[in-house]
């Protein structure tokens, strides 16, 4: 398997450019909080031969593949099986931190993981297959109200109530254990006019994935922890793939880059100065060439910030 053929890192050159100023010191530590198959990390280890990498991932398959890919870098690489909201335990004093959020290429491409609505497979969707509830468990046990809630909140799905009702009716007849079965139910529940606006399963599958992996709760804890862990002068780069993720990142960056001085104070005291400087103008998108070359870059939103000082 040639990883370069199946995995094209999103916005790779821009990530390298943004992190570069923080990675020149000997022994500088880069934390890849969402290691995946290691594409971004490999490029950064090649570009900066002085750095050490700590790679985090909850997916044991990803850690195995990335470990093989990065083996040539020897003891410059440390891989950790963990969820990235524990980043504070692994990133203290880091010079750079990278988040590439959402579902990985590995998880999408392996049909049996159940992430892709275009492929029939067991309804699993766990990023860490060693523990936790599956998407099938959610479909089988959640009430109609709770299904509607997650479809609305995590999928921003306008037909959430209708989909929840159809799922409840269908599961009373037989268990829903495969992605293909769920897709058939969602298609049957979708008016023809709505089907022309996009695949009926897209937002529901996103919502289930987020619920199964508690992604937004994890992210809400992880971003502030990562920012606290960074060394002064360190940089954090975050790539999001849907609006709920990007909103959390935007809010965390905005809070950290704002002055906390009371209104009307004539002089800003050092303890009120912003802790971070925003490095991007809003959320950056992939260019047309990359979007055409790599469809997984189409929804990406990149934000980055530099740490100016520790908390008072």
Q: What is the pLDDT of residues 163-179, one digit of tens each?
A: 999 999 999 999 999 99
How far apart CA 83 and CA 57 sit, in angstroms, is 6
Residue 5 pLDDT grade (very low, low, confident, very high; cuts 50, 70, 90):
very low
27 pLDDT more than 90: yes
Beta-bridge partners for 99: 238
Q: Does 57 show up as a binding residue in the annotation?
A: yes
Pairing status of strand 230-240 against strand 276-278: unpaired
pLDDT of residue 311: 84
Cβ atoms within 10 Å, residue 174? 8
Cα–Cα dist 207/202, whole Å: 9
State pLDDT tens for residues 33-59: 999 999 999 999 999 999 999 999 999
> What is the CB-side half-sphere exposure of residue 284 using CA atoms within 13 A?
21
Cβ(122)–Cβ(136) below 8 Å: yes
**What one-character DSSP code corresponds to residue 175?**
-
Compute the distance between CA of residue 179 and CA of residue 43 in angstroms, rounded to an integer.
Answer: 35
- HSE on the CB side for 173, CA within 13 Å? 6
Q: Tell me the pLDDT band of 193, cut-offs 50, 70 and 90.
A: confident
d(CA 245, CA 219): 8
CB 27 within 8 A of CB 54: no
pLDDT at res. 264:
64
> Which tokens in the block code for residue 137?
């468990």
Cα Rg of the chain, angstroms = 21
Residue 59 marked as a ligand binder: no
Q: What is the pLDDT of residue 267?
A: 67
Q: Is 206 annotated as a binding residue?
A: no
Was 38 annotated as part of a binding site? yes
Tens of pLDDT, residue by residue over 227-278, are 999 999 999 999 999 999 999 999 999 999 997 667 666 666 677 689 999 9
Q: Considering the chain, what is the average pLDDT of its residues?
A: 92
| Residue positions counted in the chain | 312
Nearest C-alpha neighbor of 226 from the set 71, 94, 65, 120: 94
3-state SS assignment for residue 261: coil
pLDDT score of 123 more than 70: yes
The most distant pair of C-alpha atoms in the chain lies apart, rounded to whole Å, by: 70
Q: Degrees (nearest 5) of the Cα angle 73, 79, 80? A: 175
pLDDT at 7: 64
- pLDDT-derived band at 1 (thresholds 50, 70, 90) equals very low
Strand bridging mode 301-307 / 276-278: antiparallel
77-98, pLDDT tens digit by residue?
999 999 999 999 999 999 999 9
The residue assigned the tokens 């766990």 is: 126
On whether the CB atoms of residues 38 and 55 are closer than 8 A, the answer is yes
Contact 190, 167 (CB under 8 A): no
The fraction of the chain above a pLDDT of 90, given in percent, is 81
User: Which domains does the chain show, CATH number per domain?
Assistant: 3-106+215-307 (3.40.50.150), 129-212 (1.10.150.170)
Q: Give the angle subtended at the CA of 53 by the CAs of 11 and 274, to the nearest 5°.
A: 70
Q: What is the Cα–Cα distance from 120 to 2, expressed in whole angstroms?
A: 25
Check whether 296 has a pLDDT greater than 50: yes
The residue whose two tokens read 């996103």 is 206
Q: Are 107 and 115 in contact, with CB atoms under 8 Å apart?
A: yes
* 234 assigned binding-site residue: no
Instruction: Confirm whether residue 40 is marked as ligand binding.
Output: yes
pLDDT at 198 over 90: no
Question: Is 96 in contact with 31 (CB distance < 8 Å)?
Answer: yes
67 is in an annotated binding site: no
Q: What does the angle CA 49 – CA 44 – CA 61 come to, to the nearest 5 degrees?
A: 115
């Amino acid at each position: 398997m040639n990883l370069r053929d199946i995995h094209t890192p999103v916005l790779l050159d821009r990530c390298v450019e943004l992190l570069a100023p923080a990675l020149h010191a000997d022994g500088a530590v880069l934390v890849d909080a969402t290691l995946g198959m290691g594409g971004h990390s490999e490029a950064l280890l090649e570009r900066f031969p002085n750095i050490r990498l700590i790679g985090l991932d909850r997916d044991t398959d990803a850690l195995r593949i990335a470990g093989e890919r990065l083996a040539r870098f020897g003891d410059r690489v440390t891989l950790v099986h963990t969820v990235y909201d524990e980043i504070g335990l692994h990133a203290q004093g880091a010079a750079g931190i990278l988040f590439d959020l959402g579902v990985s290429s590995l998880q999408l491409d392996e049909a049996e993981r159940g992430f892709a609505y275009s492929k029939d497979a067991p309804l699993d969707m766990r990023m860490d297959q060693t523990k936790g509830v599956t998407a099938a468990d959610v479909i089988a046990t959640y009430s109609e109200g709770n299904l509607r809630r997650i479809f609305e909140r995590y999928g921003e799905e306008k037909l959430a109530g209708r989909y929840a009702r159809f799922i409840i009716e269908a599961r009373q007849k037989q268990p829903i254990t495969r992605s293909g079965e769920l897709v058939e139910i969602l298609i049957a529940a979708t008016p023809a006019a709505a089907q022309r606006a996009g695949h009926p399963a897209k937002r529901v599958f996103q919502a289930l994935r987020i619920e199964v992996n508690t992604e937004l709760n994890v992210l809400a804890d992880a971003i502030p922890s990562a920012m606290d862990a960074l060394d002064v002068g360190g940089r954090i780069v975050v790539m999001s793939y849907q609006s709920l993720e990007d909103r959390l990142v935007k809010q965390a960056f905005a809070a950290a880059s704002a002055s906390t001085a009371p209104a009307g104070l004539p002089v800003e005291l050092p303890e009120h100065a912003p802790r971070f400087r925003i490095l991007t103008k809003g959320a950056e998108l992939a260019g047309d060439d990359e979007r055409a070359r790599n469809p997984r870059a189409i929804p990406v939103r990149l934000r980055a910030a530099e740490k100016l000082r520790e908390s008072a």
